[in-house]
Amino acid sequence: LLSSGTHVYTLTYADNLGGIYTNQAVFSTIYSTLPAAYALPPGSGVVRGFTYRTVSASTQVQLEGGALASSIALAEAQLSGTLVDTNTGQPYSNEATPGPNADGSYNIGTVINFTDGSTPEGDFVDDTEFPGLPFVGGNEWFSTEALLYLDLPAGYYRFGVNSDDGFEVTAIPPQGVSGAPIVAGVFDNSRGPADTLFDVQVLTSGIYPFRVVYFQSSGGSEEEF
């Protein structure tokens, strides 16, 4: 279908006794369309895998006996270092172990299939622990960011995230290209392990940059893309 949103199909027909009948079906197809300008050309030298960055305030929040909101806005503030501890008036410090990259991220060549180190959760097996987090005694109140590229021939795609708690997946313009991030999928609250599916239309074949933000409030934690 050429547009995202609500669609109406109407069928009107008659029988041989002169009766006229109308049936109507209403349904929605909600999807995001990726602009051609957001695509890098095939063979542009992008390396497989992704970079992954973790920011945690687990101990600080638990020592205060408090809690933080479960939201993308809070995750973005935590990732940018602007999440303020109302008890001190200063931003929370990052308790996660930084990776080797200049921004503290890790280079990961496998898949996003992370858990808190306890029983595997979600849809897939072979979970690994969230990078940079020691899960001795549990870890709460942290946010992560994955930057990756998807090689997408023109077509229609269904993606999914299984998370505990929330997430946001955005298509982002390549460096030097103007444009805003396009939200493809989001769950902006706390929950136990659950799937959120979302659709993307690609008009031009290419390699598209994506960003996946995840946040953990309290309890179990896991993320699959």
3-state helix, strand, coil in the chain (%, to 5): 10, 45, 45
Which residues, listed in sequence order, are joined to residue 54 by a DSSP beta bridge? 144
Q: State the pLDDT at residue 109.
A: 93
- pLDDT tens for 123-139 read 898 899 999 987 666 68
C-alpha distances (whole Å) from 184 to each of 14, 144, 219 are: 43, 18, 26
- Hey, what amino acid is at 220? G
Residues 141-182: tens digit of each pLDDT: 999 999 999 999 999 999 999 999 999 999 999 989 999 999
For residue 200, what are its two tokens? 């993307």
Q: Output the pTM of the full model.
A: 0.87
CB distance 78 to 216 below 8 Å: no
Q: How far apart are the first and last CA of the chain?
A: 26
pLDDT block averages, 10 residues each, the chain of length 225: 83 95 91 94 82 92 80 95 89 93 95 84 90 77 95 95 96 93 95 94 95 92 94
- For residue 6, what pLDDT is reported? 86
CA distances from 156 to 31, 112, 123, 151, 168 (A): 9, 22, 22, 13, 20
